[in-house]
Structure 1
Amino acid sequence: MLYNVVEIQEILPHRYPFLLVDRITDLKPSEYIEGYKNVSISEPVFQGHFPDHPIYPGVMIIEGMAQAGGVLAFKSMDGVTQEEIQSKVVYFMSIDKAKFRAPVTPGDKLVYKINVIKNKGAVWQLDAKAYVDDKVVAQAELKAMIVDK
């Protein structure tokens, strides 16, 4: 484990119920990151999606992949202090080629694997995949920018 949820909260501004990364398990700055979220029936989203057939929403999977990508972007910035990181946020610019391959349900461990396609200044283009039991459940190309809050 590289970063637990408390350490992730020092990097990302997201908080419950919208912090969607529990751990970062691997990271190579400017190249890739791997992390995960344990999906629990106690997630507030399951009250309405769907009460008798709980399915973790695809948009939440995309957001979780983007949050992992945000950790990668911040941890790839050389010589940046913790105060500077806390004064910035990552904004989505685009989501392309999104595909949902299989449903994610309570009890699943959702593993995010994000690879850098391109980085130019504050803009990051990422190849994002989410897995459950080594099976791709979702994928997308994400573009994001680090900006001042």
Structure 2
Amino acid sequence: MRGRHPRLFIDRVLDHEPGVFLRSMFAVSAEMGALSGHLPERGLTPGVILPGSHTMQAFAQSGVLLYQLSSAPLADDEVTLVGTVKSRFLAPVVPGDQVVLDVRADRLSGHTFTFSAAVTVEGRSVAGFRGAMSRAKVDPAGARPW
């Protein structure tokens, strides 16, 4: 994975088995930029912030890691594209929480990967996700869209 702070949301990979699962975690800090204006009287981690939420982004990043561990490494001219994500937020996540994502490989077929996750804090369900991604070639010298 080519991300780094502040775009890398995963703090640690706890365990994994290629093609089967990846368990990761991130710690929610009161210093997260998204918290400063979201219900300032009660710091809740936003479920959705454009362009995405911290929890959803950690899910996608965990999926990318599992995909790359389960298939051939990405070539220099390839990227992973998350095509769809379905989410369900079940409980608030607050500063001080350690969020654990239990990501499962549902299907790996060619360049397409479907995956899902149960998201917990201290064993309590806080969210669930299902997603799909693929790998695509990019032209590093291609025309910029803007």
CA distance in 2, matches of 1:85, 1:57: 34
Greater share of residues in helix = 1
Give the CA deviation at 1:62. 1.4
Structure index of larger Rg: 2
> Which residue of the other structure, out of 63, 66, 69, is the alignment partner of 1:69?
63
Q: CA contact under 8 A between 1:116 and 1:125: conserved in structure 2?
A: yes
Call closer, same or farther: CA 1:53–1:15 in 2, change over 3 Å: same
Distance 1:88 1:52 in 2: 43
How far did residue 113 of structure 1 move? Answer: 0.5
Query: Which amino acid is 1:52 matched to?
Result: E
Q: Secondary structure of 1:91's match?
A: strand
Task: Report the number of matched residues.
Answer: 133
The 2-side partners of 1:16 and 1:48 are apart by 21
- SS of the residue 1:62 aligns to: helix
Given residue 21 of structure 1, which amino acid in structure 2 is its aligned partner? I
Counterpart in the other structure of 2:135: 146
Runs of 5+ consecutive residues of structure 2 not aligned to the other structure: 48-52, 139-146
Residue 83 of structure 2 aligns with an amino acid whose one-letter code is M
* Structure 2 Cα separation of the partners of residues 87 and 35 of structure 1: 27
Match of 2:106 in 1: 117
Q: CA RMSD in A?
A: 1.6
Answering whether residue 31 of structure 2 is matched by residue 42 of structure 1, we say yes
